[in-house]
Amino acid sequence: MSSTIEARIEALRQQIELHNYRYYVLDEPQVPDAEYDRLMRELQELEATHPLLVTPTSPTQRVGSEPLKNFGQITHAIPMLSLDNAFDEEELRDFDRRVRERLELDEAEIVYSAEPKLDGLAVSLVYREGQLAQAATRGDGVTGEDITLNARTITSIPLRLRGDRNRIPPVLEVRGEVYMPKAGFERLNTLAREHGEKTFANPRNAAAGSLRQLDPRVTASRPLAMYCYGTGHVEGVDLPDQHSEVLGLLQEWGLPVSPERRRVTGIAECWEYYLEIQRRRDHLPYEIDGVVYKVDDLELQRRLGFVSRAPRWALAHKFPAQEELTRVVDIEIQVGRTGALTPVARLESVFVGGVTVTNATLHNEDEVRRKDVRIGDTVIVRRAGDVIPEVVSSLPERRPKNAREFVMPTQCPVCGSEVVRAEGEAVARCSGGLFCSAQRKQSIKHFASRKAMDIEGLGDKLVDQLVDEGLIESIADLYRLHAEQLASLERMGEKSAQNLVAGIEASKRTTLARFLFALGIREVGEATAQALANELGSLETLREADEERLHEIPDIGPVVAAHIVRFFNQSHNNDVIESLQKQGVSWPEVEVVPAERKPLAGQTFVLTGTLESLTRDEAKAQLQALGAKVTGSVSKKTSFLVAGADPGSKLAKAEKLQVQVLDENGLNEIFRKHHRPGT
């Protein structure tokens, strides 16, 4: 067997392990996903051709093996203990006082190692001679389940440790938390809904269920990750004297540790850390339910010892509960700006997530059925930060005999219009469009917004006031307002009234693209409105277009096409549009230019980085309107790379291929040069 092939396989393994380390441990990826995939494919092909060179620690061996009949049992060399909890500042201060008293350090401030408390599943990993040999759940603290095959499928868990083998202990037990990132949890549940399968209640349940699969291939398909928070049994090498330094050493060896960890001194810094992490909680990519403090000095830990089943030197400082039990009093329907009908559970009031909750969303009819929520049920309610409270699940075992099933109405409870549910969609909607009063305020606010009709002086609060006073019932009524009416409103003087009337009058002269966006047609944003204007040229042509014609327009798929056709098929929507035109709302005709005559025909653009004056979607729409092809990757056929802030690897590739690079000013210069009136 060629030594060259052996060397190449080992080089690929080392490269992939390095990229895993930089991605999962340092959070500093060096290469794009496509390059990582290329390396992995090459390694898989070489190993398939030379199976004798496959090793258990190869990155290709994470895919999962045959299903187990049951889990074996593993006894932990050192018990995996639970932590005592604190729920307020006073209990935190009591913990610190007890630590100082037991250590006879009453006046000194203790240095703690602090990190977020992940809401996942505690596990133990054992490395022998630097290679992953065993993984187990916490279990009852003394005995856990053997999940070695499943743990091997989790990409953030290294199969072999990095660095100098002389420094790595012959036996190293690492302890940590396996969790499911929020984004992965949402994808998993979305996929389950699409297949009509049961969804998980929260990321913790999803992580626990995924890790305890008898079929490791199922675990391999789930988006699991791990952070290490300490060590257990260690042989052959003395670790550092500080817990925080141990975590740093684990990171050097390729084990992921929390990037939010911090050394804090004294109770004041502990409390500040708690408040900071609590503020950032909803923006972290994973679920946490508090923070953990550990005395940083390991000798002090040994002196403090244990009480019952918990160490005296550590504390879990919990956040307010985000899930509680309550009862569903009724299920009502809310109608949103786009006409979406949302079932809302009216609840017996319950304190959850730091506030009193009386209402919780049920999302849509399918979710009500899937969660089997009935009026009268006892349910689990969840609230996280500013997110609207939701019903997680019902408890059928507590269901009263008089519980009633929910029935979705066939008519809008606000305007009486027919309720429609498009094929393949979970949400039912009122077909009232611009006519439904439940959608009135939001449709007017959207119509008047800066990127739509840009009516200067018409803010959200004034729209609320105008609707509440009965002065406007649809967007067309805006153009019937006069200064005397407006001046009589609260906090609205004569000058302000005149300025608003002038702003309304000025908005009458607009562009077709702005007008189409202002109508609030479902999924027709600025970029799509621009494409419709460029390709069809007039409102009349758009009204007459069928779904097949709309499909021919770049970036307009069947769903958006159906929304557009449905909107213009509603007579009351056309009535409002005609009323607007009678009030003087107008725009110049748009010249429709054949594709081959467009100024950028035959040129290919790639967009990267963040643009300040417009979004990437808007830039793409404008480039396509000028005839350009917009792709996602740089190649020799690329004409221009448009690089905004933080451009990433595409810029380096463009420079290597000598592709011309434009900054945002250069892109806007192209748009100014080829600007067409009326768009």
How far apart, in whole angstroms, are the C-alpha atoms of residue 113 and residue 315? 11
| Residue 115 · residue 228 · CB < 8 Å | no
| Residue 225 · residue 27 · CB < 8 Å | no
Within 13 Å of residue 397, how many CA atoms lie on the same side as its CB? 0
Q: Which amino acid is at 499?
A: N
Please indicate whether residue 451 is annotated as part of the active site. no
Within 13 Å of residue 224, how many CA atoms lie on the same side as its CB? 33
How far apart, in whole angstroms, are the C-alpha atoms of residue 459 and residue 514? 18
Q: Taking the mean position of all CA atoms in its chain, how far away is CA 134?
A: 33
Start-end of H helices in 372-493:
440-448, 460-468, 483-487
- φ and ψ at residue 342, rounded to 5 degrees: -115, 120
CA 249-250-251 angle, 5° bins: 90
| Residue 242 · residue 265 · CB < 8 Å | no
What does the chain come to in residues? Answer: 679
Containing H/E element for 233? strand 225-235
Which tokens in the block code for residue 195? Answer: 């297949």
Catalytic residue among 69, 117, 451, 637: 117
Cβ neighbors of 377 (< 8 A, separation 6 or more) are 327, 328, 394, 395, 396, 398, 399, 403
Q: Taking the mean position of all CA atoms in its chain, how far away is CA 660?
A: 34
Q: Which residues of 192-211 are buried (b: 16+ CB within 10 A; e: fewer)?
A: ebeeeeebbbbbbbbbbbbb
CB 163: neighbour CB atoms within 10 A? 12
- φ and ψ at residue 213, rounded to 5 degrees: -80, 135
Structure letter (DSSP) for residue 51: G
Please identify every residue annotated as catalytic. 117
